Structure 1
Amino acid sequence: MKNIRLPLTVVGGFLGAGKTTLLNRWLREAHGLRMAVLVNDFGALNIDADLIAATHGDTLALTNGCVCCQIGDDLGRALVQVIESATPFDAVVIEASGVSDPWRIAQIGMAAPELSLEAVVVLVDAAAVAQQSRDPLLADTLARQLRSADLVVLNKADLADAATRAAADAWVEATAPGTPRLEATQSAVPLALLSGLPGPAAAAGACSVAGCTHGHAHEHAHDHHPPDHGALFQTWSAQPAAAFGIDALRDFLREAPPGLLRLKGWLRTGEAEDGEAAWCELQYAGRHGSVRRTAPPRDGRAAVVAIGLRGQLPAQALARFFG
């Protein structure tokens, strides 16, 4: 059996799309889960002073157990430091620079057997991207970022009128057809939706309003409030008693029903050679899915949790498959 690997999420998007705001929000929402956030520049991240416990060279230790590492010129070295940390982390998040291709960064992370790529999340400025995409100097960079995405967040939707939002949505669909996408204000995207943090119960609970706090590093000063996560997102969960075939699970993820944004679970897959129950971990985020053998969960119970936009989550299809 493979050891449990650290879930890796790469956050990309052009300059000013809201990546820094998203990272600050996720750090605020960690709730005891240890994240390692790798960034190019601490100054740009602008973490609230009351969240910083200590500074050690290129590393910030936060009061909630998370850390931020400044990448510098060597992403590989920063990843090794995270992987070899004396105190294990629950997840790794890498912020790609505003002009870089997040898929190239994801490939570096995938080269480490201790990491498991969960999703490439690309933020798009809904108020500006239609105009930016018409600039020949920017068009290629924007398109490359988008084509690597498992999920596209049309951010700053509150700053765009209906026609501008429609133009942004049309450009995203034309550039990366079929890629799941959602609108957001001030990068208000639940951590559980994207990060691959452990625990089905945690994933479901983090979508509630009570489990969300609002970040402070906003890139635009205005009075709009982030949307109610409970109103935007819907969860579905089950504790299947049956055993599932690995191939059947992979086929399901390959043809995942429309409306599914996030899926995670631990399921039985029959018996192992020693007669004990065999288990697998199931992951799906946007367009990226994986099934891999793993150790049994601590409580010995199968569980699966799905997240989607309210009214679009394919609950019936999930119930038919997982029972």
Structure 2
Amino acid sequence: MSSPQIPLTVIGGYLGAGKTTLINRLLRHSEGRRLAVIVNDFGRINIDAELVESRDGDTINLANGCICCTLGGDLAMTLLNLAESANPPDHVIIEASGVADPAQVAQYGHMPGLRLDGVIVLADAETIRQKARDKYVGEQVCQQLHAADVLLLNKVDLISPETQQAVRDWLAGQVPDAHVIESARGEVPLPLLLGDGEERPFTQTERRDTAVSPSTEHHHDLAYETWSWEGRGPVQEAAFRAFVAQLPAGVIRGKGILRLAGEPERRVIFQLVGQRWSLKPGDPWGDTPPQSRLALIGLPGSLDSARLAAAFE
């Protein structure tokens, strides 16, 4: 069995978009996950004193198991140390500076022991259009938007519904393939940002004995919903690729173990974050009966259970 890779997420966005607020929320509400968050400056991360367990140079250890590191100088070495530590984190998050290209930072996600999970770019709903037109920073702002797998339109509480719709329309013209989540004060359900917390595509409790079992769960209090499907028959790769290509923009995340017709001896691993998705060879089935399992996480109303399941009939 191959060793699991640690997922790495890059959080980017221009100055003032709300990255620090979002990172504060992640550190405080990690939902049992051991996050390693690499930031540019401790001074801007207002960590509650009661959360701090210890501090050692460039690292703060939190009582909830998370750690916060400053980008001292060598990002590659910092990531390598995390990946090779005796007790590695469940997920690594890098805060890109407000003037950085998140796509370049994301290349570190291809280092040994790591897996690029996705690039999340924040945009200030109140100022993004103005900054994108600015003759000095506009090109940089637009570059950041185009790097996003998931675009977090933040601070929507500061604008009117009419302006909010105008910003949506503008974004649709600028980055038509973007998967957009709207938020106020960086309040976003963790599963939408980082998945469900399981690096393995499925936990034991998610497994069912039925041949095909589509289901949708609505989490109205958290403003997202999930859909899952299982099937024992082989899946045609071309048909599955067509299925992914037609997913609604509201589908933010997906994962799965697939029994592809063209790969009968081994699992094929499916991962999706926003517009980024992949199919990669997994471990051989061995003595495990081959079976496909698929799960999606999306915004409310984006997951039509009957329509999604029909693609596998």
**139-148 or 261-270, larger mean C-alpha shift:** 261-270
Which residue of structure 1 lines up, in the alignment, with residue 233 of structure 2?
A: 242
1:151 lines up with 2:150 in the alignment: yes
Which residue is 1:290 aligned to? 278
Match of 1:60 in 2: 60
Q: Secondary structure of 2:163's match?
A: helix
Q: Deviations over 1:279-299 (max 9, x none)?
A: 232211110001223347xx9
Q: In structure 1, what residue type is equivalent to 2:255?
A: K
Structure 2 residue runs of 5 or longer lacking an equivalent are: 207-214
Number of the residue aligned with 1:34: 34
Any idea what the Cα deviations from partners look like across 1:64-112, whole Å, max 9, x if unmatched? Answer: 21211111222111111111111122211111111111001001322x1
Match of 2:256 among 245, 255, 265: 265
Who is 2:24 aligned against?
24
TM-superposition CA deviations, 1:121-147 (whole Å, max 9, x none): 111111121222232112111101001
Give the deviation of 1:9 after TM superposition.
Answer: 1.0
Question: What letter corresponds to residue 63 of structure 1 in structure 2?
Answer: A
Tell me the SS of whatever aligns to 1:21: helix
Question: 2:178·2:249 contact (CA, 8 Å) conserved in 1?
Answer: no
> What is the TM-score when the length of structure 2 is the normalising length?
0.84
- The match for 2:308 is 318
Deviation at 1:269, TM superposition (A): 4.1
Partners of 2:11 and 2:119 within 8 A in 1 = yes
**SS, match of residue 133 in structure 1:** helix
| Aligned-partner Cα distance in 2 for 1:317–1:94 | 37
Q: Secondary structure at the match of 1:99?
A: coil
Q: Is the 8 A contact 2:219 2:225 kept in 1?
A: no
Number of residue pairs matched by the alignment: 298
1:125-175 per-residue CA deviation (whole Å, 9 max, x = no partner) reads 111212222321121111010011111111110111123323322332222
What is the aligned-residue RMSD (CA, Å)?
3.0
The separation in 2 between residues aligned to 1:176 and 1:247, in whole angstroms, is 26
3-state SS, counterpart of residue 22 of structure 1: helix
Between the aligned partners of 1:247 and 1:35, the Cα distance in structure 2 is 36
Q: What's the offset of the Cα at 1:59?
A: 1.0
Q: Which residue of 2 is the match for residue 253 of structure 1? A: 244
| Offset at residue 11 of structure 1 (A) | 0.7
Tell me how far 1:248 sits from its aligned partner. Answer: 4.7
Q: With CA pairs under 8 Å and 6+ residues apart, which has the higher RCO, 1 or 2?
A: 1
Could you tell me which runs of 5 or more consecutive residues in structure 1 were left unpaired when the two chains were aligned.
Answer: 210-227
Q: Work out the percentage of aligned pairs sharing the same amino acid.
A: 40
Sort the Cα spacing of 1:65 and 1:302 in 2 relative to 1 into closer, same or farther, 3 A: farther
Distance 2:65 2:163 in 1: 40
- Is 98-107 or 312-321 further displaced after alignment? 312-321
Q: C-alpha displacement at 1:192, in angstroms? A: 1.3
1:175 alignment partner in structure 2: 174
SS in 1 for 2:104: helix
Between stretches 66-75 and 259-268, larger displacement belongs to: 259-268
Deviation sequence 1:8-46 (CA, Å, 0-9, x none): 111111111111121222223322222211111112121
TM-score by length of 1: 0.81
Rounded Cα–Cα distance in structure 2 between residues aligned with 1:258 and 1:13: 20
- The equivalent position to 2:269 in structure 1, one of 281, 287, 290, is 281
Greater alpha carbon shift after TM alignment, 252-261 vs 149-158: 252-261
User: In 2, are the aligned partners of 1:265 and 1:282 still within 8 Å (CA)?
Assistant: yes
User: What letter corresponds to residue 119 of structure 2 in structure 1?
Assistant: V
